Amino acid sequence: MMVMETAPVLDIKVGYINQRINPNVDLVQEINRLKQQKRAVLLAHYYQEPEIQDLADYIGDSLGLARQAAETDAEIIVFAGVHFMAETAKILSPQKKVLLPDLNAGCSLADACPADQFADFKAQHPGHIVISYINCSAATKAQSDIICTSSNAEHIVSQIPENQPIIFAPDRNLGGYINRKMGRNMVLWDGVCIVHQVFSEQKLVRLKARHQGVPVLAHPECDAPVLRHADFIGSTSQIRKYARENASRTFIVATEEGILHQMQKDSPGKTFIPAPPESGCSCSQCPHMRLNTIEKLYLCLKYEAPEILMDEEIRIRALAPIQKMLMMSAEIA
């Protein structure tokens, strides 16, 4: 049945989409049809709404998503994630149209490291090489020597001679974790993830006491007091893999709760308990990631907007450290 829709009110420039969707439209069916018709691939991060994850052609962590973006032969990449992820896809695949359902889907880590302030910071630390976490803008990547993700950060740092001074930006928690674990002394930029920073050590300890012997799985974006109580620390896909392969029937999970969807699908008989955040609110959802909705995803595919556009000079400068990362971590699954 043809469903009439009102004319779109689309302001691509600032990324606001004001478009009514007829409630009779079957969004899942339409998104699948549009993907096929337009030769579009839908890449989704684990922190997306479960209904978006279920529509994705590929779900993964930041490293997996970057690799997919570099390798896909689709004509359009629809990125169900946040801005720095879609930007990375555009840097790697400039000939493709890269779409992000909501251009305002940012990241507190990327926001914490403006490129001009980062340039001043670098100038204060001559002789340092710069390793930047992928959670930063293209302009900050362009000032970096190597990019890393939570999957490959340790592996990349291990390839840098011990006497070589390093600046690590923008996540002080991931950088601090690597410093402690590897006995390094990297200079850290003072950024945090607003989701992982707020897990409560006190509440986690009480939860562990109530669930004796249950492994705690934590993302390295959590701060040191929380990581101290973790039995396993890794990226989202490493956490997922650990839970799938470990014999325990119950796990406490200290990362954004969107990942529980795949973990539950992998192991229907297992129980996953989200680690409690500090505030009264019991959820740990990323407000940026959750700006993407199935309605915006549908509109994005339908109107091929909002699109990621980028200055070519910045793109080329940002590409080199990303390629270096892919090369230095080729053996990481």
62 binds, among ligand SF4, ligand 13P, none (CB under 5 to 8 A by kind): ligand 13P
- Residue from 53, 108, 149, 292 in contact with ligand 13P (CB under 6 A): 149
DSSP strands (E only) in the chain: 9-11, 16-18, 40-45, 58-60, 76-80, 97-99, 129-133, 146-148, 166-169, 187-188, 216-218, 232-233, 250-254, 271-274
Q: Closest CB to ligand SF4 among 261 and 288?
A: 288
* Alpha carbon distance 31, 37 (integer Å): 10
Sign of CA dihedral 279, 281, 285, 287: negative
* Alpha carbon distance 146, 148 (integer Å): 7
Residue 146 in 3-state DSSP? strand
Shortest distance, position 30 Cβ to ligand SF4, whole Å? 27
User: Pairing relation of β-strands 9-11 and 250-254?
Assistant: unpaired
Shortest distance, position 180 Cβ to ligand SF4, whole Å? 20
- By CB under 6 A, residue 150 contacts ligand 13P: yes
Q: Closest CB to ligand 13P among 74 and 147?
A: 147
- By CB under 6 A, residue 135 contacts ligand 13P: yes
At residue 160, what is the residue type? I
- Quote the Cα angle for 15-17-23, to 5°: 150
In which residue are the tokens 């790697």 written?
92
* Binding segment toward ligand 13P, per CB under 6 A, in 24-32, 148-156, 201-209, 223-231: 148-156
Sketch the per residue contact string, 46 through 65, with ligand 13P: x for CB under 6 A, - otherwise.
---------------xx---
- By CB under 6 A, residue 284 contacts ligand 13P: no
Shortest distance, position 303 Cβ to ligand 13P, whole Å? 26
Sketch the per residue contact string, 202 through 231, with ligand 13P: x for CB under 6 A, - otherwise.
-----------------x-x----------
* Binding segment toward ligand 13P, per CB under 6 A, in 145-153, 199-207, 293-301, 315-323: 145-153
Interacting residues with ligand SF4 (CB under 6 A): 47, 82, 107-109, 135, 193-195, 221, 256, 286, 288-289
Q: Closest CB to ligand SF4 among 94 and 287?
A: 287
- By CB under 6 A, residue 87 contacts ligand 13P: no
150 binds, among ligand 13P, ligand SF4, none (CB under 5 to 8 A by kind): ligand 13P
At residue 279, what is the residue type? S
- Quote the Cα angle for 311-317-323, to 5°: 120
- Among 224, 83, 101, 197, CA closest to 140: 83
* Alpha carbon distance 24, 18 (integer Å): 18
* Alpha carbon distance 43, 231 (integer Å): 30
Structure tokens given for 187: 């200079």
Region 163-202 residues binding ligand 13P, contact defined as CB under 6 A? 193
Beta bridge partners of 80: 44
Q: Closest CB to ligand 13P among 40 and 147?
A: 147
Q: Closest CB to ligand SF4 among 59 and 286?
A: 286
- By CB under 6 A, residue 88 contacts ligand 13P: no
| Contact present, 99 and 79 (Cβ < 8 Å) | yes
Q: Closest CB to ligand 13P among 72 and 262?
A: 262
Q: Closest CB to ligand 13P among 34 and 169?
A: 169
**Interface residues toward ligand 13P, by CB under 6 A:** 61-62, 107, 135, 149-151, 193, 219, 221, 235-236
